[in-house]
Amino acid sequence: MKRWLRVILEVLPSVLLALVAFVLLLAVVGFFSSKRSQAAEGAGRKQLDPAAWGADHVGQPLPLYTEGGECLFCHRHQVGTTWDTNKHNRTIRDAEPKEPAMAALLDDAKTKEFAAEVQLLMGDTRAQRFLKRAEAYGHADIASVKAEFARGTRAKLVDADSAKWDSEKFAKQCAGCHTTAVDPETQAFATVSLDCYACHGDSPVDHATDTTLMPLARERKDSPAAVSSICGSCHIRFGKSKSTGLPYPANFVAGDNLFRDFEVDWSVLDATDETKKLNPADAHVMDNLREVVLYGNEQMTCLTCHDVHKSTSAKHRELPVTKYCQHCHTASDPIKGHKRYTVHSERCEY
Ligand code: HEC
Ligand code: HEC
Ligand code: HEC
Ligand code: HEC
Ligand code: HEC
Ligand code: HEC
């Protein structure tokens, strides 16, 4: 064998070994630096103190507010026409026997008698709950049996075998976001379901001549942080009040800074484990709020896309494509179609 060939054959194994080691090293470095750049998306950015601005109503008496019926007396043409069908207004409504969830309860021999006690229905197209008014003012009992809707409008009962009433749960875990003006001490609500007050706050009579007195009025030009406080007061399903320990805000009034008393677990956005990742509904809410509240990126709020009284997000289709869109769309520009997604919530038990 030629001498030079023998030399090559002798060193070849160690060259190969070195090569393999080098490739492995590259992979390891690459892995850690990509981890670091993922974390840097959040961690590297300057964070604001969300509690720094404004005031709140923690510890103060509940404001006496004007009820929706009165508002609609003057606003029946702009808002009155759509309010009846607005999902905020309807989150709790009378339990009509023709509602699919009620029909299912009445149809099932195990719950037929129980159904006679149900007065109110809460929820939407994925899940609904049965309620009855409690004797105590501003309280309701919630039933253990639930209605779920997999697809279409046929209701499927869950836990129908041992239907019973719970007189604590609704007040301590649900009332703050599904009823209006909850007293932090007694957890009594003023009105079942959501009234104008939930978003427009303690609206003064004088707003008719000076609309800047009214939260969310066009002239007032509320800051993105103020808007985020209003919508976030119910749409953040990962927070708790520091003063009450309850999973909903304490005496929040539109115009307040929610984040003085409401502690939010923003880390839910950073889950990488597939089973813990937020669904697109919660993710797009939490991501948008974190941008505004924590990073001071005020380019976009809920109202950039949602028109609350027209119940539409149609205007969102005109926006420039960004990474944010990938909560619901695959990465493409222009956007075509959208991802199918399901929504579950530990907070809301569905
Ligand atoms: C922090 C506020 C908050 C609390 C507390 C809360 N909810 Fe909700 N709930 C919401 C919001 C916001 C939605 C709408 C979410 C969406 O559509 O993505 C909702 C939706 C629902 C729905 C409708 C789901 C559907 O799409 O059909 C049901 C049912 C529900 N909640 C039940 C409950 C129950 C029961 C409790 C108490 C155990 C509760 N919620 C506590 C904010 C809250
Ligand atoms: C879930 C939050 C929410 C509730 C509840 C709510 N509003 Fe509004 N309202 C808004 C927002 C947000 C705007 C600003 C316009 C927009 O972007 O949708 C608005 C705008 C308005 C306007 C201005 C007219 C217009 O269409 O631009 C009037 C008047 C109004 N609301 C009255 C009411 C009345 C009366 C009620 C109760 C019957 C009510 N709102 C309940 C969020 C709410
Ligand atoms: C006595 C009649 C009256 C009552 C009651 C009333 N409003 Fe108004 N409101 C007006 C008038 C007049 C304006 C100014 C003209 C306009 O924008 O419609 C106005 C303006 C507004 C605006 C700002 C509209 C804009 O241009 O962005 C909002 C929001 C609003 N009202 C909400 C409410 C809510 C919520 C209630 C109940 C708590 C209420 N109003 C009760 C008469 C009334
Ligand atoms: C007081 C609590 C509360 C506040 C404040 C609130 N929401 Fe909601 N919102 C809810 C609940 C509860 C539901 C689910 C109602 C249901 O279907 O049972 C809901 C549903 C929705 C929906 C889905 C239904 C639809 O009409 O498309 C949108 C979008 C929405 N809210 C946007 C907003 C925006 C934007 C704001 C701020 C201006 C806001 N919400 C303020 C409690 C609230
Ligand atoms: C870039 C646009 C955009 C922004 C910003 C945005 N949304 Fe949405 N949101 C949508 C679209 C689009 C949908 C899906 C279609 C629909 O339900 O209207 C949606 C759906 C929802 C739903 C129903 C989710 C479900 O399926 O249960 C709620 C509730 C909601 N948004 C609340 C909010 C709130 C609160 C904010 C602000 C923190 C917000 N959104 C910010 C575009 C947006
Ligand atoms: C919360 C989920 C959600 C987010 C976030 C969202 N979209 Fe959508 N988008 C939808 C849904 C649902 C539809 C279908 C219903 C509709 O057309 O409104 C849709 C439809 C669209 C359409 C029409 C597509 C077609 O095939 O006709 C466009 C364009 C669009 N979105 C653009 C965007 C852009 C741009 C962004 C980011 C700035 C965005 N979307 C963010 C849920 C979302």
**Is residue 55 a part of any domain in this protein?**
no
Protein residue with its CA nearest to atom 39 in ligand 3: 71
CB 68 within 8 A of CB 83: yes
Model pLDDT, residue 35:
43
- Closest ligand relative to 67 C-alpha: 3
**Is residue 284 a part of any domain in this protein?**
yes
Protein residue with its CA nearest to atom 14 in ligand 2: 216
**Is residue 314 a part of any domain in this protein?**
yes
Model pLDDT, residue 37:
42
Question: What's the domain range around 318?
Answer: 222-350
Ligand 2 site, residue 197, Cβ cutoff 6 A: no
Average pLDDT of 311-318? Answer: 98
Q: In angstroms, what is the span from residue 25 Cα to ligand 4's centroid? A: 50
**Is residue 126 a part of any domain in this protein?**
no
For the chain, helix (H) and strand (E) counts, in that order, are 11, 10
**Is residue 256 a part of any domain in this protein?**
yes
**Is residue 167 a part of any domain in this protein?**
no
pLDDT 10s digits, 65-111: 999 999 999 999 989 999 999 999 999 999 999 999 999 999 999 99
- Mean predicted lDDT score pLDDT of the chain: 91
**Cα 40 to the chain's mean position, in Å?**
25
Model pLDDT, residue 43:
63
- DSSP structure class, residue 162: T
Identify any residues that bridge with 142 across adjacent strands, giving them in sequence order: 131, 166
User: Where does ligand 4 bind, in terms of residues with CB under 6 Å?
Assistant: 87-88, 91, 123-124, 177-178, 194, 198-199, 230-231, 233-235, 302, 306, 308, 311
Protein residue with its CA nearest to atom 6 in ligand 1: 174
**Is residue 162 a part of any domain in this protein?**
no
pLDDT 10s digits, 33-62: 444 444 445 567 999 999 999 999 999 999
Protein residue with its CA nearest to atom 39 in ligand 5: 302
Residue 50: phi and psi, rounded to 5, are -60, -20
User: Where does ligand 5 bind, in terms of residues with CB under 6 Å?
Assistant: 231, 235, 281, 284-285, 288-289, 300, 302, 304-306, 313, 316, 319, 343
Ligand 1 site, residue 237, Cβ cutoff 6 A: yes
Average pLDDT of 22-29? Answer: 55
pLDDT 10s digits, 274-292: 889 999 999 999 999 999 9
Ligand 1 site, residue 279, Cβ cutoff 6 A: no
**Is residue 262 a part of any domain in this protein?**
yes
Ligand 3 site, residue 317, Cβ cutoff 6 A: no
Ligand 3 site, residue 157, Cβ cutoff 6 A: no
Q: Give percent of the chain above pLDDT 90.
A: 83
- Closest ligand relative to 219 C-alpha: 3
Model pLDDT, residue 197:
98
- Cβ neighbors of 225 (< 8 A, separation 6 or more) are 53, 54, 257, 292, 293, 298
Best CA proximity match to 176, nearest among 236, 94, 227: 236
pLDDT 10s digits, 160-206: 999 999 999 999 999 999 999 999 999 999 999 999 999 999 988 99
Residue from 76, 216, 305, 306 to probe ligand 2 pocket by mutation (most atoms less than 8 Å from CB):
216
CB 114 within 8 A of CB 105: yes
Task: Read off the pTM.
Answer: 0.93
Residue from 177, 194, 282 to probe ligand 1 pocket by mutation (most atoms less than 8 Å from CB):
177
Q: In angstroms, what is the span from residue 347 Cα to ligand 1's centroid? A: 7
Best CA proximity match to 105, nearest among 136, 128, 134: 128
Whole-angstrom distance, CA of residue 79 vs CA of residue 67:
14
pLDDT 10s digits, 264-275: 999 999 999 988
Ligand 2 site, residue 160, Cβ cutoff 6 A: no
pLDDT 10s digits, 74-85: 999 989 999 999
In the predicted structure, residue 14 carries a pLDDT above the cut 90: no
Number of domains in the chain: 1
